[in-house]
A and B are shown apart, each in its own frame.
Chain A
Amino acid sequence: MKWTHAVAFALLAVGLAGCSKPKQVQPDTTAQAPVDSGAQTSGLGNETGPATGATAGAMSAAQQQALAALQSRNVVFFEFDSSEIRADYLSVVAAHAAYLTKFPTARVRLEGHTDERGSREYNIGLGERRAQTVRKALMLQGVTEAQITTVSYGEERPAVEGSDESAYAQNRRVELVQVQ
């Protein structure tokens, strides 16, 4: 299938750009086939560019270890129509803040998500609000603005399928993706 080619290009590109990099904490690497490369675009707005974490240089063993420890704790969940960080997830935010302040070259990408209820663009706004809440919490704990990027996917990228409360609860989230 055609996507094999796309993925092959993607893997090749990643391999060339980051041969000395440690494994990235990105649950959806294969979903990042470079679809943009085939687009005939002529963007007139400000370029934002994705956070690629393409900074060169090897990570210290200490940092690699700290990063690995964060891997199992990189999602903050939310109540319906709320962007308050629940008390049981404050420690997740604190762990990422500690890592980011200890390693000032590290970068985090905050991906805001909602469940599928309600209109889609409104949910983009809600996902952004959640990402911004986490961003502010990180900055209150000493993380610098330059270390953080945010993106909202609204309900467009659910973590799990399903139209019940259990699925909704798993989809209302901010993923903290350490990009370096």
Chain B
Amino acid sequence: MTFQRALARPKKKGSARALAWFFVLAGSLATSAHAQLRLDITQGVRDAVPIAVVPFGGQAEGGPNDVAAVIAGDLQLSGRFKPLERRDLVSRPTRGEQVRFEDWRLLKSDFLVIGHVVPEASGLAVEFELFNVQTGQRLLTNRLVTSERGLRATAHRIADLIFERLTGIPGAFSTRIAYVAVDGRPPKQRYRLMVADADGYGPRIVTESSEPIMSPAWSPDGQSLAYVSFEGKASAIYVQRLATGDRKRVSARSGINGAPAWSPDGRKLALTLSRDGNLDLYVLDLATQGLTRLTSDSAIDTEPEWSRDGASVYFTSDRAGNAQVYRVGAGGGQEAQRLTFTNGYNARPRLSPDGESLALVTLDRGAFRIATYDLKTRNLQVLTDGRQDEAPSFAPNGAILIYATRAGAKGTLAMVSADGRFQQRLSSDTGDVREPVWSPSPPAQR
């Protein structure tokens, strides 16, 4: 079953606008994105639960704000559900009293979602109901007030609620993903830092350059991105507010400025600098610009990631001869402790939202794959089966990870559930897509 969403965006208009683009290169998230990212699910999922999401009453089918389509897409993206094809829906109830459960039992759908959109004094209201088809029990119903512009966000919110009701895990569909898109052939490539909804909809350019952009990192409040840009012919770290496009260059020291990671309180960045010709970890206080050195070793120390309490930093080092994951105190002047011993290469640790495990890149039987490392049991579990999987990032609910992989010669994105049971490959019709990072949950849900 293929579920496709063509993410149509308005086309850009004229060269005046194009020229303006050049001058506001780092400007605010523009409304027209020329990198058309379309995410297609290209790989089915075994054991997914069948669910019917009936087109909602009160709105036309098939537009970008088709509430049922957004909900079905989210549920499919989670890997745990298999929404029925629309053409297979035998009837189109929009209110509970219209439902004939035997219809849905015949279709072997375990669950049923129906609803409708109605005008409201302040805009629109979306009412929905979730049923267990076998028992006929209504599991969930709610009414959400929104507007025409807010319909997609409301649909994601409904998907969150349904997902939580059926799995016990909060949904992560009302979130965004930042990633790097690269077009063109070497050595003339164009690099764009993008932000899109978690389902790939509405990609926007955050910044673009003919020099590499890498390592995007969300601030804990989801308002800003830190990233590395080589636009000045050397690496520098920038922090950019998404709403306004305002940005600051926070580190452009001699040598490498890389791998920014926000402290849990959002006041500091852990980063890597090569002030003495070799990479070491530092903590930069964003308000005072004060630098604290965490490591001083002749090896490569990079890819820092904060512990949940902000007291220590996980990182990659090859001080033992090959890349492994270590932990060091965030206050400086402490000895680092090695964590990983399985496999000859473990790198780029990313902490799970519950703080109990790290996702990382491991060299598994000659291939680079995504694994989780349990901080308590020290067990390393390989989740993916690609050849060159990298850059894992947890969804804020911890249930799923997005990562970068290769499909043929192209860099693309994929998702895997934290237990490794479900995998989804996503493809884009633009060039290389890489370094996906999942945003924190929106404030209302934290």
Binding site for B on A (CB under 8 A): 1-3, 5-6, 27-28, 30-33, 35-36, 38-51, 81, 116-122, 124-126, 128-129, 132, 135, 150-154, 156-163
Min CB–CB distance A82 → chain B (angstroms):
12
Please state if B255 and A153 are interface contacts (CB–CB under 8 Å). Answer: no
CB contacts (< 8 Å) of B253 on chain A: these are 45-46, 48
List the 3 closest A-B pairs by CB distance, nearest first.
Answer: A50-B233, A125-B300, A156-B212
In-complex Cβ contact of A50 among B234, B272, B318, B388 (8 A): B234
Please state if B249 and A163 are interface contacts (CB–CB under 8 Å). Answer: no
Q: How far is the CA of A154 from the CA of B185 in the complex (A)?
A: 17
Q: How far is the CA of A126 from the CA of B414 in the complex (A)?
A: 26
Q: How far is the CA of A30 from the CA of B184 in the complex (A)?
A: 13
Please state if A45 and B236 are interface contacts (CB–CB under 8 Å). Answer: yes
CB contacts (< 8 Å) of A151 on chain B: these are 230, 233-235
Q: How far is the CA of A140 from the CA of B168 in the complex (A)?
A: 64
Please state if B214 and A120 are interface contacts (CB–CB under 8 Å). Answer: yes
Q: How far is the CA of A48 from the CA of B236 in the complex (A)?
A: 10
A-B contact count (CB 8 A): 188
Please state if A120 and B236 are interface contacts (CB–CB under 8 Å). Answer: no
Chain B 1-32: CB-based contact to A (< 8 A → 1; otherwise 0): 00000000000000100110111111100000
Q: How far is the CA of A129 from the CA of B25 in the complex (A)?
A: 32
Q: How far is the CA of A149 from the CA of B253 in the complex (A)?
A: 13
| Given A151-B235, A152-B256, residue A163 in contact with residue B388 (CB < 8 A) | yes
In-complex Cβ contact of A163 among B236, B303, B406 (8 A): B406
Please state if A116 and B186 are interface contacts (CB–CB under 8 Å). Answer: no
Please state if A121 and B249 are interface contacts (CB–CB under 8 Å). Answer: no
Please state if A122 and B251 are interface contacts (CB–CB under 8 Å). Answer: no
Contact residues of B between 67 and 92, Cβ < 8 Å to A: none
Please state if B272 and A121 are interface contacts (CB–CB under 8 Å). Answer: yes
Total contacting residues, chain B, CB less than 8 A: 73
Q: How far is the CA of A48 from the CA of B274 in the complex (A)?
A: 13
Binding site for A on B (CB under 8 A): 15, 18-19, 21-27, 185-189, 191, 207-212, 214-215, 230-236, 238, 245-259, 272, 274, 277-279, 289, 300-303, 316, 318, 322-323, 345, 347-348, 361, 368, 388, 390-391, 406, 409, 434-435
In-complex Cβ contact of B323 among A38, A49, A118 (8 A): A118
| Given A35-B209, A122-B303, residue A150 in contact with residue B255 (CB < 8 A) | yes
In-complex Cβ contact of B186 among A44, A47, A159 (8 A): A159
Min CB–CB distance B373 → chain A (angstroms):
14
Instruction: List 28 A-B residue pairs with CB atoms under 8 Å apart, sorted by A's residue number.
Output: A2-B18, A5-B18, A28-B187, A31-B187, A31-B189, A31-B210, A32-B233, A35-B25, A38-B23, A39-B25, A41-B248, A42-B248, A45-B236, A45-B257, A48-B252, A119-B323, A119-B361, A120-B215, A121-B259, A122-B302, A122-B303, A122-B323, A122-B348, A124-B302, A125-B279, A128-B277, A150-B255, A160-B186
Min CB–CB distance A7 → chain B (angstroms):
9
Q: How far is the CA of A32 from the CA of B233 in the complex (A)?
A: 8
Say what secondary structure dominates the interface of chain A: loop
Min CB–CB distance A144 → chain B (angstroms):
16
Please state if A32 and B212 are interface contacts (CB–CB under 8 Å). Answer: no
Q: How far is the CA of A39 from the CA of B230 in the complex (A)?
A: 12
Please state if B251 and A45 are interface contacts (CB–CB under 8 Å). Answer: yes
| Given A6-B22, A36-B231, A157-B189, residue A122 in contact with residue B300 (CB < 8 A) | yes
Q: How far is the CA of A75 from the CA of B233 in the complex (A)?
A: 19
In-complex Cβ contact of A117 among B207, B247, B388 (8 A): B388
Please state if A124 and B234 are interface contacts (CB–CB under 8 Å). Answer: no
Min CB–CB distance B244 → chain A (angstroms):
10
Q: How far is the CA of A41 from the CA of B249 in the complex (A)?
A: 6
Q: How far is the CA of A31 from the CA of B182 in the complex (A)?
A: 14
Please state if B232 and A126 are interface contacts (CB–CB under 8 Å). Answer: no
Please state if A126 and B187 are interface contacts (CB–CB under 8 Å). Answer: no
In-complex Cβ contact of B390 among A35, A39, A119, A135 (8 A): A119
Known: A38-B25, A51-B233, A156-B230. 16 other contacts (CB 8 A): A41-B26, A41-B247, A43-B236, A45-B257, A118-B323, A119-B316, A121-B303, A122-B303, A122-B323, A124-B259, A128-B300, A151-B235, A156-B191, A157-B212, A159-B187, A160-B186
